[in-house]
Amino acid sequence: MTRTVHIIGAGLAGLSAAVELALRGEAVVVHEATTFAGGRCRSYHDSTLGMTIDNGNHLLLSGNHAALRYLNLLGAAERLVGPTKAEFPFFDLASQEQWTLRINDGRFPSWIFNSGKRVPGTRVLDYLPLTRLLWAGSDRAVGEVVRFTGPLYERLVRPLLLAALNIEPSAGSAALAGAVIRETLATGGAACRPLVAREGLGSALIEPALAFLRERNSPVRLGHQLHRLHASDARVEALDFGGDKVALASDDAVILAVPPYIASALVPGLTVPTEFRAIVNAHFRIEPAPYQPPILGLINSTTEWVFAFPGRVATTISAGDRLLDTPRDALARTIWSEVATATGLPPDLPPWQIVRERRATFAATPEQDALRPSANTRFNNLLLAGDWTNTGLPATIESAIRSGRRAADLVAPP
């Protein structure tokens, strides 16, 4: 009899593990508690707007090689779109200045030496201290390693690290910030091209995986929540889904790809991150302005990034915990007035929706980073996956997909 690998959770970590294992001919069953796959990275029909939107705008970079490999396996790489060069337009609400950061391909950062390509108001030498982040110890916060004032910080370091770490950057882990810079800015523009799922996260990252698994007869059981793991000292013996129980054969394996607060409840004694940060997204049903870039960074504003989608303009605010209690309509008005100023769209508030994800990511502090477990557990047939496991990256799509692949490799080496 062939063994079965049970994957708990159909977020990107679980789906990435499932896709890798199905590709290697393993028998896979995915069990998902909710009635939809995708977890924190999903599309849904919003009845207020009367259209399908994403729970949050998700930005990938061309250097996210695990995510791109996953999409290539699924034949869905073209569903992420972006400019052919690493270009990031910005607008400063305070000074009304606009500029485009243009990062050249190749490791030598010639963009820093070109005043038309680097951040306005910065000098070449301002960039040098950023290299300190590349070698920072895992116990250091970004604020202990680099200076937190001046145009380079306000116009590049802060927006980049706030988006990547989802925490006020000075408090963020310098090691995680270093990993982001190493895999993007320090690698050159070819790794920094922004990529977005123009037709939605579901159609780019989730539905192709579900189709891939369907074609390989690997069931994805929605509405099938794991309630308990029954384990002996060394291994998990059975999975309890409330209504039904699955006894595991001696060579069956389990990949637990659920959020950390669920994993620690299922696996007593497991150390996991315990603090989280929110992300606040606003969606407006309106056609983007004619020359609006796909992604626009805003400085000196509540809104941080403005995304242009067909028939919709959407915004992102990271580490948005301070906005969780702000009345929704006040928030929509504030955000829209900033978007209208930056894009030239009319100031009248279009139909809107606010989505606040309270536990969008674990808090990327050095202390929380130190709580991330590796994929192996004390049970020899139980592995962990998820953006919060110890991938060396902040909680991102890339981290989730890498964690799923790592767990798959441990079950069935490629």
User: Could you tell me the smallest distance in angstroms from the CB atom of residue 127 to ligand FAD?
Assistant: 24
- For ligand FAD, the binding residue among 29, 56, 76, 317 (CB under 6 A) is 56
Question: Binding pattern to ligand FAD, positions 264-303, x when CB under 6 A?
Answer: ---------------x-x----------------------
Q: Is 319 in the site for ligand FAD (CB under 6 A)?
A: no
Give me the residue label for tokens 């995680």.
176
**Cα gap 411→56, rounded to integer Å:** 32
Q: Cα separations (Å) of 276 from 145, 272, 358, 369?
A: 23, 11, 8, 11
**Cα gap 396→133, rounded to integer Å:** 19
Neighbours of 370 (CB within 10 A): 14
How many of the chain's residues bind ligand FAD (CB under 6 A)? Answer: 38
- 355: nearest Cα among 156, 75, 58: 58
Q: Are 147 and 117 in contact (CB under 8 A)?
A: no
Q: Are 294 and 86 in contact (CB under 8 A)?
A: no
- CB of 100 or CB of 225, closer to ligand FAD: 225
The region of 83-91, 268-276, 370-378, 397-405 touching ligand FAD under the rule CB under 6 A is 397-405
- 41: nearest Cα among 203, 185, 188: 203
Q: Is 393 in the site for ligand FAD (CB under 6 A)?
A: no
The region of 122-130, 150-158, 256-264, 323-331 touching ligand FAD under the rule CB under 6 A is 256-264
Q: Are 99 and 119 in contact (CB under 8 A)?
A: yes
- For ligand FAD, the binding residue among 24, 27, 34, 409 (CB under 6 A) is 34
Structure tokens at 184: 């993007």
- For ligand FAD, the binding residue among 18, 136, 160, 258 (CB under 6 A) is 258
Q: Cα separations (Å) of 65 from 7, 52, 77, 202?
A: 23, 28, 11, 20
Site residues for ligand FAD, 366-385, by CB under 6 A, read none
Q: Is 10 in the site for ligand FAD (CB under 6 A)?
A: yes
Q: Is 395 in the site for ligand FAD (CB under 6 A)?
A: yes
- 240: nearest Cα among 231, 249, 252: 231
Q: Is 8 in the site for ligand FAD (CB under 6 A)?
A: yes
- CB of 12 or CB of 145, closer to ligand FAD: 12
- For ligand FAD, the binding residue among 357, 367, 370, 392 (CB under 6 A) is 357
Q: Is 400 in the site for ligand FAD (CB under 6 A)?
A: yes
Residues in contact with ligand FAD by the rule CB under 6 A: 8-14, 31-34, 39-41, 55-56, 58-60, 225-226, 257-259, 262, 279, 281, 357, 360-361, 386-387, 395-400
